[in-house]
């Protein structure tokens, strides 16, 4: 099953006793089958809200404005039953710590059989055969034996492989990987990155990689959305973002990553200042208080969406002038 | 110096009396607070509130139904029932609160020592808790009463001695869980004394669940007192207590059923009051529920 | 100059005993060495990066140096004096400090920051006439306003809690700072802040630091020397720049190669190493890395390599250390790329 994912002017706010938290504001995202898109940003940038909105798992106190659609179907307007169907069938989520995604008292095999409950056409043996094939595909060599393991018997990297296998079993059109390597060691991280890249070859759905790790995004994605304080401040082809970043925040974020510098630095670059309070988002640019290229209009007028090339846009006054 | 973290970040507004506010926000807890406060005030001001002496016998007017002179009627010795219930509150609450506080204090101290102290001490203490727990309360009460004689003091001793082990076990489990937490390790690195770690760093973090348990155990103790007094093992007549009122009412249940009803009422209300108060406290103090609380 | 801290052949072992073994206690069972004969030294004012993946024992090593975990063998010397008895460790801890991985969890939750900052003085009986002023001075040292003294730990952000952790660690003017993953859980923009702060204070106050981390990109910029651990053993030590430019142990090389680069034009060609990190309870025979090593030879599985010097200040535990020339490096990465083509 394949289709396109599109969010346009999507805003999400959480109603809390302390006021509304505007977690996402007018976000535009587009992804087509076969693409790997990356969503990058630091804590508090709204990437987890965006993921939960895509997977239709927003909590009850969330209010959605604008649209987010999958294959032309407006996700927010679906009833609970159809949402569940869609999640089980077409949208799959791989989370940061797969340990919490598995039931600790059932074997991996039993759980993966249950994941296919919507495939009424398959018998138990067929389902187990599919699992074995899928585990092999994610690089687990002794699949038959692993199916009899319990989640705690697997290492972190192995669990992440199983989680990816589980997500792919339903043959989803949209695979969302939320910080898929954050809990792993570097050597395991490299293996999972490699695995995800291999999977692309014969998977024609959309993969969404959400991460704060610039290296992971650069390794895996075709197109990147850079988020800050609930807004997409810049988006474009991965090469344009990493080599031709125009938004001051993207530039600052890239400059902060110590992995970019081969020579020893005496001082590591930082971004001074703090995130704005999202209960009262600033009326101008969200990044203005920390920006080093701030103009008079930045504090009062919301910055325009500047088209730098067909696919490269930035939301910034300084870029437009 | 590197950039100063934003000093203008507003301090989270610290409201005054956050506990009271949170408790009053929940209707059940609100009612519970009113009930508990009512009982405490009744007990404190019993001599001013009671229309008659609780022990003045007036056999001419025994087993009177409620009337304008005796609002709740009189018992089989003609004593004013309302006055006995009011003074009974004093007896019952004193016993319940004092014994629970004593048991809580002993349990807290021993639990902290067992949890943080050396293993051999822990083993000895846990053995002690378990053996005390295994004694049937009534048997234990009978044994103590034979030695010390029935009375308020004896009741307090019996209740405190039988209930502190469960508090100690709770505190010990909490302490064990915190013993290897980072901040305790950090304190050990600073060479903080064991006493300092126990009383300054562990105690405030383990005491929350104990307070909840104590509050929810007060009604249990009230019932135990009533039960023991009903059996004649509690406070000695003529001292009024809710249990003895029930006992008296039970003996004349056919001629004056109102005695059991009126005698049982405060027991039910106090139980509900303290239980709901405990639940309210748990909602407030349980860290897992803190997210639900307005910041 | 004499080293501030020397660690010689330090081992920490956990004996896994069943109930029966404990009852009979025939013979001491062979222990599992979480830390196995680690030898290293730290000069005054130096920064050592202790690098390893999870399960390498780096945190245990740091904790055993300060006596929080009891070493089963080996020798520790601090400022030229042997540290053996609990009293020695106490004396050493007065001159050193540790920062824990989780900055908020290492602050006692019911105390205010001001109290937490004056605790070291209170505990060590240092007369402090004005504790509030002393706390405010520490807060300003780490770039926080003095109003933070009235806050509780849970009211701080990760970066602020880190700063408080630094302030608390430096309250007693230590000679040695052990920092366990000082940037864990921090955003890149804040991570630099904390590291710059530590670096600045190091220059100002002149203490030595040991930074325990798995973050190679970060440690490269803040350490003078590196020590790489694998399964409780040091596999390589050397000056940071040299180790990065010419790693001698294949494990070090794979670690450096595994780090994803923030550059889509230089994507990796596949993972530098396959397989899982073994458990210390099932330590591979011979060289512990031979099960995953792209350059392993038959000898590696049979015979444990010695930890030997391969150049000025460079130590490596490998039978076939990588050559320093660029070509060899290239050959290694090509070999490893080919190898995993087969395994995955």
For residue C75, the domain's CATH number is: 3.40.50.300
Which string of b and e fits C261-284 if b means at least 16 CB within 10 Å? bbbbeeebebbbbbbbbbebeebe
Q: Which residue of C has its CA nearest to A214?
A: C262
Give the per-residue pLDDT at A244: 92
pLDDT in tens, chain C (344 residues): 789 999 999 998 876 555 555 555 555 455 678 888 999 999 999 999 999 988 888 989 999 999 888 888 899 999 999 998 989 998 998 899 999 888 888 898 888 999 999 988 888 888 878 888 989 999 998 888 999 999 888 888 888 899 999 999 888 889 999 999 998 888 888 888 889 999 999 999 999 999 999 999 899 999 999 999 999 999 999 999 999 999 999 999 999 988 888 888 888 877 777 777 887 777 888 898 998 888 888 999 889 999 999 888 899 999 999 886 554 555 555 555 554 444 43
Give the per-residue pLDDT at C338: 53
% residues pLDDT > 70 (chain B): 90
Q: Which residue of B has its CA nearest to C162?
A: B5
Chain mean pLDDT for chain A: 88
Tell me the residue range of the domain where C290 lies: 5-19+30-95+174-343
Cβ under 8 Å to B: C residues 117-146: 119-120, 123-124, 143-145
Q: Is residue B69 part of a domain?
A: no
A71 class by beta-carbon count within 10 Å (0-12 exposed, 13-18 middle, 19+ buried): middle
Q: Is residue B72 part of a domain?
A: no
Q: Mean pLDDT in each 10-residue stretch from start to end of chain B (295 residues)?
A: 37 58 79 88 83 75 74 75 85 89 94 91 91 83 84 86 91 91 89 90 88 85 81 76 79 79 85 86 63 40
- Is the Cβ pair A270, B3 closer than 8 Å? yes
Other Cβ atoms within 10 Å of B205 Cβ, number: 19
**CA atoms of C142 and C204, how far apart (whole Å):** 12
CATH of the domain at B204: 1.10.3720.10
Q: Is residue B188 part of a domain?
A: yes
Q: Is residue C119 part of a domain?
A: no
Contacts of C192 in chain A (CB under 8 A): 256, 258, 267-270
Check: CB of residue B103 under 8 Å from CB of residue B95. Answer: no
Total count of domains within chain C: 1
Total count of domains within chain B: 1
Q: Is residue B108 part of a domain?
A: yes
Interface test with chain C among A187, A216, A272, A287, by most C beta carbons within 10 Å? A187
Query: What ipTM was reported for this prediction?
Result: 0.86
**CA atoms of B4 and A274, how far apart (whole Å):** 11
- CB nearest to A271's CB, from C189, C214, C277: C189
- Is the Cβ pair C189, A257 closer than 8 Å? no
% residues pLDDT > 90 (chain A): 29
- CB nearest to B5's CB, from C90, C94, C160: C160
- Is the Cβ pair A274, B9 closer than 8 Å? yes
Residue B196 half-sphere exposure toward CB, CA atoms < 13 A: 19
Q: Is residue B7 part of a domain?
A: no
Contacts of A256 in chain C (CB under 8 A): 188-189, 191-192
Give the per-residue pLDDT at B286: 61
Q: Is residue B274 part of a domain?
A: yes
Check: CB of residue C95 under 8 Å from CB of residue C89. Answer: no
Contacts of B4 in chain C (CB under 8 A): 143-145
Check: CB of residue C256 under 8 Å from CB of residue C296. Answer: no
Q: Which residue of C has its CA nearest to A259?
A: C217
Check: CB of residue B20 under 8 Å from CB of residue B258. Answer: no
Residues 6+ apart with CB under 8 A from B295: A16, A17, A18, B12
- Is the Cβ pair A270, B5 closer than 8 Å? no
Interface test with chain B among A44, A272, A280, by most B beta carbons within 10 Å? A272
Which string of b and e fits A128-158 if b means at least 16 CB within 10 Å? bebbbebbebbbbeebeebbebebeebbbbb
Chain mean pLDDT for chain B: 81
The CATH number of the domain covering residues in A5-90+171-276: 3.40.50.300
Tell me the residue range of the domain where B151 lies: 27-61+78-292
Q: Is residue B250 part of a domain?
A: yes
């Amino acid at each position: 099953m394949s289709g396109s994912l599109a969010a346009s002017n999507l805003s999400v706010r959480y109603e809390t006793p302390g006021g509304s938290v505007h977690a996402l504001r007018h976000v535009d995202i587009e992804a087509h089958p076969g693409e790997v898109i990356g969503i990058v940003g630091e804590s508090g940038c709204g990437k987890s809200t965006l993921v939960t909105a895509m997977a239709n798992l927003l909590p009850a106190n969330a209010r959605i404005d604008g649209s987010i659609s999958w294959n032309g179907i407006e996700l927010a307007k679906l009833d609970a039953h159809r949402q569940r169907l869609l999640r089980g069938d077409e949208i799959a989520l791989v989370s940061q710590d797969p340990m919490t995604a598995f039931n600790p008292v059932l074997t991996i095999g039993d759980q993966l059989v249950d994941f296919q409950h919507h495939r009424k056409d398959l018998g138990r043996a067929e389902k187990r055969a599919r699992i074995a094939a899928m585990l092999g595909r994610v690089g687990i060599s002794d699949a038959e034996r692993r199916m009899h393991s319990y989640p705690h018997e697997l290492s972190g990297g192995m669990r992440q492989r199983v989680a990816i296998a589980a997500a792919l079993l339903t043959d989803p059109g949209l695979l969302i990987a939320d910080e898929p390597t954050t809990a792993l060691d570097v050597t395991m991280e490299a293996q999972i990155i490699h695995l995800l890249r291999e999977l692309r070859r014969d998977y024609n759905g959309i993969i969404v990689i959400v991460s704060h790790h610039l290296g992971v995004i650069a390794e895996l994605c075709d197109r990147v959305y850079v988020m800050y304080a609930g807004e997409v401040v810049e988006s474009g082809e991965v090469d344009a973002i990493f080599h031709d970043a125009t938004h001051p925040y993207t530039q600052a974020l890239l400059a902060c990553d110590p992995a970019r510098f081969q020579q020893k630095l005496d001082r590591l670059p930082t971004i001074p200042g703090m995130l704005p309070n999202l209960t009262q988002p600033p009326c101008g640019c969200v990044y203005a208080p920390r920006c080093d290229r701030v103009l008079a209009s930045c504090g009062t007028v919301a910055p325009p969406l500047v088209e730098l090339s067909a696919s490269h846009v930035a939301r910034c006054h300084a870029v437009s002038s | 110096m590197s950039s100063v973290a934003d000093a203008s970040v507003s301090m989270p507004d610290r409201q005054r009396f956050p506990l009271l506010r949170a408790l009053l926000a929940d209707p059940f807890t609100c009612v519970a607070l009113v009930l508990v406060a009512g009982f405490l005030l009744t007990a404190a001001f019993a001599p001013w509130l009671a229309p008659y002496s609780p022990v003045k016998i007036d056999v001419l007017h025994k087993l009177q139904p409620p009337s304008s002179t005796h609002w709740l009627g009189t018992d089989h010795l003609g004593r004013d029932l309302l006055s006995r219930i009011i003074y009974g509150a004093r007896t019952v609450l004193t016993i319940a609160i004092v014994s629970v506080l004593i048991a809580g204090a002993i349990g807290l101290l021993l639990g902290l020592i067992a949890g943080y102290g050396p293993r051999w001490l822990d083993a000895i203490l846990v053995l002690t808790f378990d053996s005390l727990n295994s004694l049937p309360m009534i048997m234990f009460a009978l044994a103590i009463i034979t030695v010390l004689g029935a009375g308020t003091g004896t009741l307090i001793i019996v209740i405190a001695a039988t209930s502190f082990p469960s508090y100690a076990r709770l505190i010990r489990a909490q302490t064990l869980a915190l013993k290897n937490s980072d901040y305790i390790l950090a304190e050990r690195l600073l060479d903080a004394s064991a006493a300092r770690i126990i009383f300054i760093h562990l105690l405030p973090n383990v005491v929350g669940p104990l307070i909840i348990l104590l509050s929810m155990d007060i009604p249990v103790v009230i019932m135990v007192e009533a039960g023991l007094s009903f059996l004649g093992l509690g406070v000695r007549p003529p001292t009024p207590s809710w249990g003895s009122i029930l006992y008296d009412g039970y003996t004349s249940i056919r001629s004056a059923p109102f005695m059991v009803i009126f005698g049982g009422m405060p027991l039910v209300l106090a139980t509900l009051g303290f239980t709901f108060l405990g639940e309210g406290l748990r909602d407030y103090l349980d860290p897992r529920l803190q997210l639900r609380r307005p910041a | 100059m004499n080293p501030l801290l020397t660690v010689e052949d330090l081992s920490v072992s956990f004996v896994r005993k069943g109930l029966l073994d404990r009852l009979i206690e025939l013979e001491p069972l062979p222990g599992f060495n979480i830390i196995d004969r680690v030898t290293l030294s730290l000069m005054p004012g130096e920064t050592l990066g202790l690098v390893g993946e999870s399960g390498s024992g780096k945190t245990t090593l740091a904790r055993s140096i300060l006596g929080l975990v009891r070493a089963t063998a080996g020798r520790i010397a601090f400022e030229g004096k042997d540290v053996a008895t609990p009293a020695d460790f106490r004396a050493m801890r007065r001159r050193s400090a540790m920062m824990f991985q989780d900055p908020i969890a290492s602050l006692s939750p019911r105390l205010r920051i001001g109290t937490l900052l004056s605790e070291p003085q209170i505990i060590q009986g240092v007369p402090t006439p004005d504790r509030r002023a002393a706390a405010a001075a520490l807060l300003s040292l780490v770039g926080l306003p003095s109003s933070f003294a009235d806050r509780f730990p849970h009211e701080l952000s990760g970066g602020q809690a880190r700063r408080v952790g630094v302030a608390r660690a430096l309250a007693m003017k230590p000679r040695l700072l052990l920092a366990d993953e000082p940037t864990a859980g921090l955003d890149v923009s804040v991570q630099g802040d904390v590291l710059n702060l530590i670096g600045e204070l190091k220059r100002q106050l002149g203490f030595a630091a040991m930074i325990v981390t798995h973050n190679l990109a970060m440690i490269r910029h803040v350490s003078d020397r590196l020590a790489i651990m694998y399964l409780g053993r040091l596999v390589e030590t050397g000056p940071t720049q040299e180790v990065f430019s010419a790693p001698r142990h294949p494990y070090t090389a794979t670690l450096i190669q595994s780090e994803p680069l923030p550059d889509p034009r230089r994507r990796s060609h596949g993972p530098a190493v396959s397989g899982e990190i073994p458990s210390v309870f099932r330590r591979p025979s011979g060289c512990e890395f031979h099960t995953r090593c792209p350059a392993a030879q038959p000898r590696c599985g049979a015979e444990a390599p010695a930890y030997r010097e391969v150049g000025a200040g460079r130590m490596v535990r490998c039978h076939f250390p990588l050559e320093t020339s660029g070509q060899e490096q290239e050959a290694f990465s090509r070999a490893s790329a080919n190898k995993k083509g087969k395994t995955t």
